[in-house]
Amino acid sequence: MQQLARKLRVTDYFALGFGTMVGVGWLVVMDDWLTRGGPLGAALGFGLGGLALLPIGHVYGRLAAAYPDAGTEIAYGEQGFGPRAGFAAGWMMMLTYLVVCPWEAVAIGKLAAYLLPGLSVMELYRVMDKPVYLPHLALGLGLTTLLTVLNYRGIRASATFQRWATFGLLALFVVFSMCGLARGKAENFQPLFAKEGALASTLLVLQIVPYFMAGFEAVPKGAEEARLDFGPTGFSRAILLAIAVGTAFYTAVVAVVAYVAPWGALTETRFATAVAFERAFGARWIVHVIIAAALLSLVKVFNGNFVAASRMLFALGRRGIVSPRLAWIHPTNHTPFVAVLGVGVWTAAGALLGEAILVPVTEVGSLACAVGWMSACAAYWRLRKELSQRLLALVGLLVAAAMVLMKLLPFVPGHFTLPEYVALGAWLVAGLATGLRAGGRRAIAPEASGAPRT
């Protein structure tokens, strides 16, 4: 039987986790972060949110070592509660990645147009009154094709690309941060919190942390592709380091932007991070550095989610829940090539819709991710007997449950509205139909590493 290539190291897994987590929110929605919390409220929100995710990261690291299966939430749910629970958890998590891939294909055009406004020409059509421009669409489809070919050829090529993009972003972040520290003023931080006060400001930012910190759980989806000499603690190290560096990145970028320019003047400014630096330096070159960093960040998030989505689809095919062809492995490249092509086609189709349709589905994707985290923590609690491990699982479960409730409770700011409930309902109905069509079959292939490692 063909197996996936065993070529990934700890640095590759760190790049996959951090790279899938940190996107371009630090550029495109910095104004919203500052409006919600002010500089200290935003920094505290991301800092506390990152700490709250550490127990969930610990759970994923331990489960990946014990059950190295590309299906992750599917496999963990099967081990803890049976195949139906595994399918339900995996189906919800699948939505997260299938939403992000087309969203990134759309975002590349918007980001490039900020640097080159002439790209917003040749309107092709409108979706819900939102224009779709030919250059934007061409960039999105071109990047989708590139990543499809890259992941078709092999995980080593994809991992190398991910690693270079990840460390390239971190290097450029250091460059523009050091430049900002040389030009900023401490008085720009005032007031430290938004008008709602310290507690409310911090909570308003804490609410959005799950969306911007999701991605570390992509690491176990490549667990079957670890090198043969990969140590049992490698997954935990990669995941926890990704969460720690991601938390530090978000808190630092908020602080640097607020230090460079008075943050109150940025709360209604598009691409506030770039604007703050341009005002401080009076030059465009620093904006080009920031946009280059953002483009690298977008591409690595796209690639990381592409890897995760294709592995989840591969795992569903291997269990016979969807077409078994999706579990085919390329005889030379040792990649799930049909699943890779499937994600590429899905992404291209989603990119054609533009941003209008994707916005409500993206909100549902963040809830779906928290549901996946809940399922993993619940399975770990069920499988482990040690009190300390069960307590960590319980903490992770409560954190993930709170994130879900933030989206569902009507009195919480940012809760679901009708479009989000419609999108969630459609996905649940599709999952029910898929489960019924599969007839409750559970077909785990012999090469799936669903049994615990010793």
Is residue 365 within 8 A of residue 89, CB to CB? The reply is no
d(Cα 335, Cα 154) in Å, to the nearest integer?
6
d(Cα 109, Cα 296) in Å, to the nearest integer?
14
d(Cα 311, Cα 412) in Å, to the nearest integer?
34
d(Cα 406, Cα 49) in Å, to the nearest integer?
14
pLDDT at 446: 41
What is the residue-level pLDDT of the chain in tens, covering all 454 positions?
678 888 999 999 999 999 999 888 888 888 888 888 888 999 999 999 899 999 999 999 999 999 999 999 999 999 999 988 999 999 998 888 888 888 888 888 888 887 777 888 888 888 777 888 888 889 999 999 999 999 999 999 999 999 999 999 999 989 888 888 888 788 888 888 888 788 888 888 887 787 788 889 999 999 999 998 888 899 999 999 999 999 999 999 999 998 988 888 887 777 888 888 888 888 788 888 888 888 889 999 999 999 999 999 999 999 888 888 999 999 998 999 999 999 999 999 988 887 766 666 667 777 888 899 999 999 999 999 899 999 999 999 999 998 888 888 887 766 788 888 888 888 889 888 888 777 645 544 444 544 444 3
Q: Which two tokens stand for residue 273?
A: 């991070």
Phi, psi dihedrals of residue 72, rounded to the nearest 5°: 40, -100
pLDDT at 168: 92
Topology of domain 10-438, per CATH? Amino acid/polyamine transporter I (1.20.1740)
pLDDT at 450: 41
Residue with tokens 């294709």: 310
**Centroid of chain to Cα 214:** 4
pLDDT at 67: 92
Phi, psi dihedrals of residue 197, rounded to the nearest 5°: 100, 170
Is residue 219 within 8 A of residue 60, CB to CB? The reply is yes
pLDDT at 444: 44
d(Cα 273, Cα 293) in Å, to the nearest integer?
12
d(Cα 233, Cα 116) in Å, to the nearest integer?
45
pLDDT at 452: 44
Burial class (CB in 10 A: 0-12, 13-18, 19+), 428: middle
pLDDT at 25: 82
Is residue 52 within 8 A of residue 256, CB to CB? The reply is no
Task: Quote the pTM value.
Answer: 0.89
